[in-house]
């Protein structure tokens, strides 16, 4: 490892400046429509679907990475995991403020896993949600472990041999990535430009991982949460494989336990025989 590829440990735990975001019913409704969300309160913009929580923090999300990771490695960074710890649902009229910091990284034989923590607060300074974003820097081993990772949400492989309590299907439309990009504010060209995607080594345009997560989330809420996002306490996944426009998705849900007035579910999403989201975890208040 050469000096110019060294990570800057002094920036671990340093928070970015807060970024404001005002929530509107139209913005919520647009996000729900862009993720084919069938839940009426989401479609009307009455309350935000769970993965909408990424929209207010999007500007803050990668800002602290710039101070830790060498810029020459940015092209190798992919979104590995997403974990929402929910204190309350987001509603229109909320004036939110988000900040982020890198909390740690770990060098591995095939790359480096780096974890970002985000806080989203309302105008009373009360926490609305906390988020843990795990990035993976492909092919670069940072050579050490520093700081900490996010909380675990590993799926027990034995669950795959058990009957699911629910299976929910969804379809990724041909124009899904364009609609999602506009509604979420994510302009990454690999989701929008066929040639750019191919130049990046992909077969073509791929779906946003967070769009796939959003589809799985409304599936889980519809199946086991009475379509009530206000009961959701935590939602986490690992992005395991690419999803393409035109594919059909199936999310299987297993009940795994109860504690502290909430029921825990594991879930996994497949496209055909390929697992595209794994290590899914949802905690729903009883």
CATH of the domain at 234: 3.10.129.10
- Residues 93-105 have pLDDT tens digits of 999 999 999 999 9
SS (H, E, C) 137-201: EECCCCCCEEECCCCCCCCCHHHHHCCCCEEEEEECCCCHHHHHHHHHCCCCHHHCCHHHHHHCC
Predicted local distance difference test score (pLDDT) of residue 4: 65
Please tell me whether residues 139 and 158 are part of one structural domain: no
Question: Of 121, 151, 181, which marks where a domain is finished?
Answer: 151
DSSP code at position 69 = S
Please tell me whether residues 160 and 114 are part of one structural domain: no
Q: What is the largest CA-CA distance in the chain?
A: 54
Average pLDDT over residues 119-125: 98
> For the chain, what percent of residues have pLDDT higher than 70?
99
Average pLDDT of the chain, as a whole number: 95
Please tell me whether residues 235 and 174 are part of one structural domain: yes
Average pLDDT over residues 81-89: 98
Predicted local distance difference test score (pLDDT) of residue 187: 87
> Does residue 153 have a pLDDT over 70?
yes
Residue 115: helix, strand or coil by DSSP? strand
Please tell me whether residues 146 and 158 are part of one structural domain: no
Average pLDDT over residues 130-152: 95
Please tell me whether residues 165 and 94 are part of one structural domain: no
Average pLDDT over residues 222-234: 98
Please tell me whether residues 160 and 171 are part of one structural domain: yes
- Report DSSP letters for 29-56, one per residue: HHHHHHTT---HHHHHTSS--GGGGHHH
Question: Of 117, 134, 151, which marks where a domain is finished?
Answer: 151
C-alpha distances in Å from residue 244, one per residue of 36, 53, 279: 15, 23, 20
Containing domain of residue 105, as a range? 1-151
Measure the CA dihedral 136/139/143/144, to 10°: 10
Please tell me whether residues 73 and 188 are part of one structural domain: no
């Amino acid at each position: 490892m050469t000096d110019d590829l060294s990570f800057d440990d002094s920036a671990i735990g340093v928070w970015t400046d807060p970024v404001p975001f005002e929530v509107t019913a139209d913005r919520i409704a647009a996000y729900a429509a862009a993720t084919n969300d069938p839940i009426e309160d989401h479609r009307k913009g009455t309350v935000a679907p769970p993965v909408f929580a990424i929209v207010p923090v999007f500007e803050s999300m990668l800002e602290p990475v710039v101070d830790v990771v060498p810029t020459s490695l940015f092209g190798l960074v992919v979104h590995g995991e997403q974990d929402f710890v929910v204190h309350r649902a987001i509603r229109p009229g909320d004036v939110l403020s988000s900040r982020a910091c890198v909390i740690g990284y770990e060098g591995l034989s095939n790359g480096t896993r780096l974890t970002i923590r985000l806080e989203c607060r309302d105008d009373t300074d009360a926490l609305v949600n906390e988020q843990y974003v795990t990035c993976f820097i492909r092919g670069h081993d940072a050579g050490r472990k520093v700081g900490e990772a996010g909380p675990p949400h590993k799926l027990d492989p034995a669950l795959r041999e058990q009957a699911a309590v629910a299976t929910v299907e969804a379809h990724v439309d041909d124009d899904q990535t364009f609609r999602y990009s506009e509604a979420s504010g994510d302009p990454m060209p690999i989701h929008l430009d066929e040639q750019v995607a191919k130049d990046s080594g992909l077969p073509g345009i791929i779906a946003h991982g967070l769009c796939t997560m959003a589809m799985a989330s409304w599936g889980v809420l519809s199946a086991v949460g009475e379509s009530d996002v206000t009961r959701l306490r935590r939602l986490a996944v690992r992005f395991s494989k690419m999803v393409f426009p035109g594919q059909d998705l199936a999310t299987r849900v297993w009940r795994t336990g109860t504690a502290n007035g909430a029921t825990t579910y594991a879930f996994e999403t497949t496209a055909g025989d390929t697992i595209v989201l794994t290590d899914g975890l949802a905690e729903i208040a009883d």
